Structure 1
Amino acid sequence: MSNKKNKEIEISDSESDDELDNAESDRDSDLDSDGNYIGDKELQADFEGRNPEDCDFHGIKQLLRQLFLKSNVDLGALAEIIISQNYVGSVVKQCLDDGQEDDDEDDDGSDGVFGITTVINITKRKDENCIQQIRTLLTTLAEENANDKTKALVNKILSDDSQHVGLIINERILNIPAAISVPLFASLQSEVEKAVKKNMPYAFRYLIWICKTYNTGDESSEILFANQEEKPLLDEALASFDVDVTEQADLSQWDYEGGALTPCRKILIFDGSKFNNLVRLLKEEVENV
């Protein structure tokens, strides 16, 4: 399948392309326990959304590890599902100069995945092992962290196979700006609409969105979203609950304005018919930053 068009976005900072290449080789040493970049180098590069391909397997799996941490989920199998449904969803890759791809024929590009945006039908695929694990994880996390009303909703939507549930995955390396989410979600929106017209199982009654958030320890402070564009979505959720993932993260806290950040996950549940509105809200959030 050909790569998607019209989703290129420029990340403008001070580093040259040569410096970017050098930074890539050192990237692992500049990652925190979530796999996010915490180095102090500024990068300049062009990125684009593309269809997931087999060569993206390891990059996708690493990004999924950022989201799920040490949860009991077969991330390799989940990455394979994402690649298998490459007509829906995108990976973020660095744009190559003309001729560069031909010069690097031996490079499969597996280390060059900077983001993944997609949706997976966890009802239709409920018999696949990694999806069973995700469904069990969601049920367990709700039981341990949600109020009674939200627990009942989670149990309801995961036990009724007539109501399809989509899991939104929106993950990227931390230093990739939120602006890139706009073309990625616009593309996902179009792809889902096309799939529904072809009677494919992407007409969702509910959507579940796992957001990476950070807690400052101050109850009066606002929630800090790792992906800034997700912030306005909270008010649209049918239900939500928070999960402290400190014990799963090797480094549980970041310095923040003299304080510290504790990593969390916020689970949001939406009416599936609100997806287009969610895309509009995240676009507005990016434009207003």
Structure 2
Amino acid sequence: MSNKRNKDIVQQESESEEEQDSGSEKDSDFDSDGNYIGDKELQADFEGRNPEDCDFHGIKQLLRQLFLKSDVDLGGLAEIIISQNYVGSVVKQCLDNGQEDDDDDDDGSDGVFGITTVINITKRKDEKAIQQIRTLLTTLAEENANDKTKALVKKILSDDASQVGLVINERILNIPAAISVPLFSSLQSELEKAVRKNMPYTFQYLIWISKTYNTGEEASEVLFANQEEKPIVAEALGSFDVDVTEQADLSQWDYEGGALTPCRKVLIFDGSKFDHLVRLIKEEVESV
């Protein structure tokens, strides 16, 4: 199967040679996870492609950003994503023909900058990684959700007649939200094709885990790691927040003199609203 390419070009200024030669300054531009956090602008060109075997390690690393130290077989989850590569995309850097030829011997494990897909966690409920995710969701709901949302989580995970999709929308820091528009548009088309082939991608419910940061103030502001996800919260049937400070390698970041606490916001949607959620994402990106 040939790779699809949904290009989203990021135009940014390159570092000067003087800045590149400054080793100590360069080191300070990266956090403990290797994510670039400096304020220098780089020029890069990204595109969406079908997940492949060579993307395994890169996908697994992105999943670790989302699930942190949770008891989830991230390697098994990465394999599931690759096995259903007719649904979903990885974000990779565009390379010219010469570079692609030169990289033929490389496993490509470090070249995955994002992943956007959806997994049927009802149909695949007997697979180890999915069992662990279902257990995690149940536990997190019991510990953090209100009674109504607890009941909803229990209902949708216990009823095998209801197909539940887990949306994964993860990318490294500093990849602009604009990349999400072609990725979700592609996902829409792929889901429609899969459904026409009678594949199990008609979802009654969707579960979406967003990475957020809490300012810790009395009227705290919630910041989204993926800004495009902010407007979809109002459409959720239920939601709850999970403080992951103890799991994160960096528990707090400065924010206008204060600090940010890393959290996860678990959102549950009516599956029929997926197209509407994608429209909201597109509107949010275009409004920035």
With the shorter chain as reference, the TM-score category is over 0.9
Shift in alpha-carbon separation, 1:8–1:197, aligned structure 2, 3 A? same
**1:153-203 CA distances to partner (integer Å, 9 max, x unpaired)?**
000000000000000000000110000000000000110011011110000
1:3 maps to 2:3: yes
What is the SS of the residue equivalent to 1:211?
A: strand
1:249 maps to 2:248: yes
Q: What percentage of residue pairs aligned between the two structures are identical?
A: 82
Describe how 1:27-106 pairs up with structure 2 within 5 A: 30-33=30-33, 36-106=35-105
Which residue matches 2:135?
136
Describe how 1:142-221 pairs up with structure 2 within 5 A: 142-221=141-220
Runs of 5+ consecutive residues of structure 1 not aligned to the other structure: none
Whole-Å Cα distance in 1 between the matches of residues 42 and 4 of structure 2? 24
TM-score of the superposed pair, with normalisation by structure 1: 0.93
Runs of 5+ consecutive residues of structure 2 not aligned to the other structure: none
**1:79-121 CA distances to partner (integer Å, 9 max, x unpaired)?**
0000000000000000001221112221121110000000000
Whole-Å Cα distance in 1 between the matches of residues 148 and 274 of structure 2? 23
* Off by >4 Å, runs of 4+ in structure 1: 16-19, 26-29
Whole-Å Cα distance in 1 between the matches of residues 28 and 183 of structure 2? 25
Asked if structure 1 preserves the Cα contact closer than 8 Å seen for 2:15 and 2:41, the reply is: no
Whole-Å Cα distance in 2 between the matches of residues 205 and 32 of structure 1? 39
Shift in alpha-carbon separation, 1:170–1:43, aligned structure 2, 3 A? same
Amino acid at match of 2:3: N
Whole-Å Cα distance in 2 between the matches of residues 50 and 17 of structure 1? 31
Residue 221 of structure 1 deviates from its aligned partner by: 3.4
Which residue matches 2:279?
280
Which residue matches 2:267?
268
Considering only aligned residues, what root-mean-square deviation do their CA atoms show, in Å?
2.1
Aligned length: 283
What is the SS of the residue equivalent to 2:97?
A: coil
Asked if structure 2 preserves the Cα contact closer than 8 Å seen for 1:31 and 1:39, the reply is: no
Residue 17 of structure 1 deviates from its aligned partner by: 12
Asked if structure 1 preserves the Cα contact closer than 8 Å seen for 2:244 and 2:263, the reply is: yes
TM-score of the superposed pair, with normalisation by structure 2: 0.94
Shift in alpha-carbon separation, 1:28–1:16, aligned structure 2, 3 A? closer
